[in-house]
Amino acid sequence: MTADIIDGKAFALGLRERVGKQAAAFTARTGRQPGLAVVLVGDDPASSVYVRSKGKATAAAGMQGFEHRLPAATSQADLIALVDTLNADPAVDGILVQLPLPGHIDERAIITRIDPDKDVDGFHPVNAGRLATGLDGFVPCTPLGCLMLLRHQLGDLSGKEAVVVGRSNIVGKPMAALLVKESCTVTVAHSRTHDLAGVIHRADIVVAAVGVPRLVKGEWIKPGAVVIDVGINRTEDGLVGDVDFDGAVSHTAAITPVPGGVGPMTIACLMRNTLVSACRREGVAYDA
């Protein structure tokens, strides 16, 4: 069997182009650009790279970026004050506070302070609740990107057996909620799961979001399944996913590579969520 290699990079580029066109139409109509505020506390090198690429993507999509780089010693009170200012700023449609935050700041206190209607990362419990109950809100960017790739690959997902490995609030849980919404039969596996190989072998769709290099072996995968590998693990061999790509590729109908699979979708979906927020706030229709 020869697997399709799902080209997340190309799909993300297409999505960013569509978002860019709609952002231009939004600006022509409202006289202002959609605005995304990104807050970075401290100088963690990986976070700094993420913030820079989010800034570039924002500009490329014809949106206005507001970058706030604060020193690592910033107090929780000062960070909350900044979030309050951004919540009240009419030019800001989306607010993203780059995680992780320095240890002296309570991440939950910051995330819950963001106006849920500007929470384009979709991490606020109100948005998690909206997703779980089928209301419009913001869906975290990485699982949203995974869903777009799955829909593109498979079309209708209803009735499919899906296994999500990982139950984090930012990937695993929202991914499972999205797949339930698509009428899949969903199993969520995690570190306490007995017989992970057997659970995965049932699946038509496998989403791996674990953070353990090449945990999921090729022979665990049901022939013909579609595999989405969220993992980004730095190893001596470079970046690898949570799935043993070389072992899995002959078992699957389609699989995302690492890098070049899910990764580029995350920023594209952040642009999409920011556009959606701007359109909702101005009562403009959108289709991205």
Binding site for ligand NDP (CB under 6 A): 142, 165-168, 170-172, 189-193, 196, 209-212, 215, 230-233, 262-263, 266
Torsion of CA 3, 143, 188, 116, to 10 degrees: -170
Q: Is 158 annotated as a binding residue?
A: no
In the complex, least distance from residue 193 CB atom to ligand NDP, rounded to whole angstroms = 6
Residue 33 a catalytic site member: no
Q: Is 221 annotated as a binding residue?
A: no
**Cβ distance to ligand NDP smaller for residue 92 or 111:** 111
In the complex, least distance from residue 232 CB atom to ligand NDP, rounded to whole angstroms = 4
**Cβ distance to ligand NDP smaller for residue 82 or 255:** 255
**Cβ distance to ligand NDP smaller for residue 210 or 225:** 210
Q: Measuring CA to CA, how many Å separate 59 from each of 24, 33, 38?
A: 12, 10, 13
DSSP 168-233: -TTTHHHHHHHHHHTT-EEEEE-TT-S-HHHHHHT-SEEEE---STT-B-GGGSPTT-EEEE---E
Q: Is 166 annotated as a binding residue?
A: yes
In the complex, least distance from residue 119 CB atom to ligand NDP, rounded to whole angstroms = 17
For residue 174, give the amino acid letter.
P
Q: Is 232 annotated as a binding residue?
A: yes
> What is the Cα–Cα distance from 69 to 79, expressed in whole angstroms?
11
Asked if 159 and 149 touch (Cβ cutoff 8 Å), the reply is no
Binding-site residue ranges for NADP(+): 166-168, 232
Binding-site residue ranges: 166-168, 232
Catalytic annotation, residues: 54, 98, 121
